[in-house]
Amino acid sequence: MEIPVVRNVLEANDRMAARLRDEFKRCGVLTLNLISSPGSGKTSLLERTLRDLGTEFRMAVIEGDPQTDNDARRVAATGAVAVQINTDGGCHLDSNMILAALENLELEQLDILFIENVGNLVCPVEFDCGEDAKIALLSVTEGDDKPEKYPQLFRLAKALILNKTDLLPYVDFDVESAARGACTLNPDLAIFQISCRDGHGLENWYAWLREAVRLKKADA
């Protein structure tokens, strides 16, 4: 009895996600769904990106957390528009939540919409939010076997950000092993090694964003 319920939930979510995707396309808004474990650095990445590219692109963030608006306040401090979604213990965002959040945004005034999903490597992957791409974040303070343990995210993501590389001298993390595992699942995966603390590698991420925005605008 449970299987049809799960299937119906996912099918309804996918229908709404398709509507969202059409709206994002109409407005020419590049929409990126950031997915990672808690503490991998999604908010820190957004803070750096919003500040460094704030004069180049019009950006906003939808923040997903079980409780608090801590991350949304950090994002808003950069000058970007932030909309908080509290899931009250839920482990992911879904397309209906994104639709509700859009009531607080003017899509026609945006170039990039970031969705910072709830910290989790499983549930957020299953629920399409109408995004153009899922972006996987993996910090070097985690295990380098994450792609093997949680393959679906790395299989579906268009980019993998290896964060906190400034800590590599102090942790037991094999960058080549992590990258190899991810690319085995997804040969087309773009991989960026970055440090939000010292800025290393961020320019490559920004170049990827610029090209993704260009392609999105061309397809609008």
Lookup: tokens for 25: 């396309």
Distances (CA, A) of 67 to 8, 15, 70, 151: 27, 27, 9, 27
State what percent of residues in the chain have pLDDT above 90.
94
| Start-to-end CA span in the chain (Å) | 42
Beta bridge mates, 112 = 30, 59
Summarised one tens digit per residue, pLDDT across range 50-107 is 999 999 999 999 999 999 999 999 999 999 999 999 999 999 999 999 999 999 999 9
Residues 6+ apart with CB under 8 A from 34: 42, 45, 46, 114, 115, 116, 117, 135, 137
Summarised one tens digit per residue, pLDDT across range 132-146 is 999 999 999 999 999
Is residue 181 within 8 Å of residue 145, measured between CB atoms?
yes
Q: Note the pTM of the prediction, 2 decimals.
A: 0.95
Domains of the chain: 2-219 (3.40.50.300)
Is residue 89 within 8 Å of residue 110, measured between CB atoms?
no
Q: Which residue has the higher pLDDT, 6 or 175?
A: 175
Instruction: Say how far apart CA 128 and CA 115 lie, in whole Å.
Output: 11
Helix intervals (H) in the chain: 2-27, 42-52, 70-76, 95-101, 123-126, 146-149, 151-156, 175-185, 202-219
